Amino acid sequence: MSAEKCDALIIRLTDFSETSKVVTCFTREWGKVSALAKGARRLRSAFEAALDLLSVCKIVFLRKSSGGLDLLTEAQLTTRFQPNGQDLGSFYAGCYVAELLSSLTIEHDPHQELFEAAVTTIRRLEQSRDYKIAVTHFELILLKEIGQLPVFECCIHCQKPIEHEQLWAYWIGQSGFLCSACRHEEHARVLIHATTIQLLHELSHGIDVLPDDLTLTPQQVKESRHILTSTITHIIGRRPKVLSYLSSL
Ligand SMILES: [Zn+2]
């Protein structure tokens, strides 16, 4: 076993025994890590108050060489998630970020940019009343990092550029858009405006590209949700659980 020190965002906590917990973290250096925290349920433990959902911590864990859980030996709190007090939405939006990281990443597969994006998103949720943009932006960066970003440039069948037509159909199974000449009736039940597709494309370029004054029209929110919720549901194989608490997403 080797001891690894890293920055971690806590994305899941499960009671393991009367005194211990299994802590799932998304770390900067190692990607997702699930580790047993012995004694974490005791009032006075080695982890003090660091182990809360969406806390950012410095952790030390022992990597098991074959199978089994890693062992968490230290956790020191850097920042605690303080959702916007006026709005339960920002709390559930944080839980949604945690659920996506837990469901869509694999253990010990590092994605440094995704770690930065998750921490940036958590901070944005604390500051902003409109969690929809922060969450939409995070979903795009996550899909890009795991290689599942929809094709935003052109029709996936004939390569007609998005800007050449106003309304597009989204083909969930192929993560791409179809122009009026290429789509069948079954794809055309919901049509998406080119401007929404172009906005999502722009936001997918990086977590820092979010303009402070960006707002989404109700139509852009509805169309973005259609694309992103259906894509994520398709990849996970079920609808993310926290979405039922985020009524406007
Ligand atoms: Zn086409």
Domains, the chain, with CATH or none? 1-80 (2.40.50.140), 151-199 (no CATH)
Distance 176 CA to ligand 1 centre (A): 11
Q: What is the mean pLDDT of the chain?
A: 91
Distance 171 CA to ligand 1 centre (A): 12
pLDDT at 129 over 70: no
Distance 156 CA to ligand 1 centre (A): 7
Confidence band (pLDDT; 50, 70, 90) for 188? confident
Q: Alpha-carbon distance 103 to 146, whole Å? A: 12
SS3 call for 147:
coil
| pLDDT of 1 | 66
* pLDDT > 90 in the chain, percent: 73
pLDDT at 249 over 70: no
Q: How far is CA 230 from CA 3, 238, 239, in A?
A: 40, 10, 8
Distance 154 CA to ligand 1 centre (A): 8
Say whether pTM exceeds 0.85.
Answer: yes
Q: Could you tell me if 49 and 77 are in contact, meaning their C-beta atoms sit under 8 angstroms apart?
A: yes
Distance 159 CA to ligand 1 centre (A): 6
Distance 179 CA to ligand 1 centre (A): 4
pLDDT tens digit string along 93-107? 999 999 999 999 999
